[in-house]
Amino acid sequence: MGPNPLWQAEALIESMPLQPGSRILDLGCGTALSSIFLAKEYGVEVWATDLWIQPDENLRRITEAQLVGQVHPIHAEAHALPYAENFFDAVVSIGAYHYFGTDDLYLGYLTRFLKPGGRLGISLPGSASEPETLPPTHLAPYWKWDFCAWHSPGWWRHHWEKTGLVAVDVADQLPHGWHDWLQWNEACDLDGGQPGREEARMLHADGGRTLGLTRAVAHLR
């Protein structure tokens, strides 16, 4: 659904290695491709949690991947998670956290589901730094109002650290992230996807100046 979730998952896990058998919440997993990837590649157990995609649709993919019992499809809204406190070793969220996580108080809600020392890692669209004006002038023709939730690595670091709940281990832009994102949109365009074409124009206009994929990883204090 977003810029290739498997490329993003792989880049995220480089910064937060996962132990086989760990319990992972994949929050905003969409079509659960990242959940399947994490289970297959790292031997973890994943709760594939999403709002817009129905769990029976994800179960079909999980069944095809022969991961029933290791990847659990769950329909839930990010503010009403049906999990026990201190349950997860890590939360990962790919291309989704900006839909709910920019609220100052959200981190305090989410981290209650992590074990002590548990980790949170996100990868999502963002800018290299916070623009002085929105939209940035060169991106004005392509801008949609909800891009205001695309933030810089520094913004996420401050957003999380100011709670005192977590220590931030990594906050950066994925190397070549903007180019991966562009390649993805061009592939979607070839496949007939209009959003792919519009975003590709914007990414070309930006040329890696500011847009990219922000990665942030933190652990519970």
If binding is defined by CB under 6 A, does position 50 make contact with ligand SAM?
Answer: yes
Total residues interacting with ligand SAM, rule: CB under 6 A: 18
Task: Say how far apart CA 147 and CA 214 lie, in whole Å.
Answer: 13
Interface of this chain with ligand SAM, residues 61 to 90, rule: CB under 6 A: 77-78
Binding-site member from 23, 28, 174, 202 for ligand SAM (CB under 6 A): 28
Helical packing angle, 5-14 and 33-42, nearest 10°: 40
Residue of 1, 128, 168, 205 interacting with ligand SAM (CB under 6 A): 1
Does residue 6 belong to the site contacting ligand SAM (CB under 6 A)?
A: no
According to the binding rule CB under 6 A, does residue 99 interact with ligand SAM? yes
In angstroms, give the least distance from the CB of 203 to ligand SAM.
Answer: 16
Q: Output 112 or 161, the one with its CB closest to ligand SAM.
A: 112
Tally Cβ neighbours within 10 Å of residue 21. Answer: 10
Tell me the closest approach of the beta carbon of residue 209 to ligand SAM, in angstroms.
23
Q: Nearest to residue 26, comparing CAs of 183, 12, 116?
A: 12
Q: What is the rounded end-to-end Cα distance, in angstroms, of the chain? A: 33
Angle at 41 between CA 38 and CA 44, to 5 degrees: 50
Please give the backbone phi and psi of residue 48, each rounded to the nearest 5 degrees, phi first.
Answer: -85, 100
**What is the C-alpha separation between 143 and 122, in angstroms, rounded?**
23
Using CB under 6 A as the binding rule, the residues of this chain from 170 to 209 that contact ligand SAM are none
CA pseudo-torsion sign 120, 126, 127, 129: negative
Among 19, 41, 52, 63, binds ligand SAM (CB under 6 A): 52
Q: Which positions touch ligand SAM (CB under 6 A)?
A: 1-2, 5, 28-30, 34, 50-53, 77-78, 94-96, 99-100
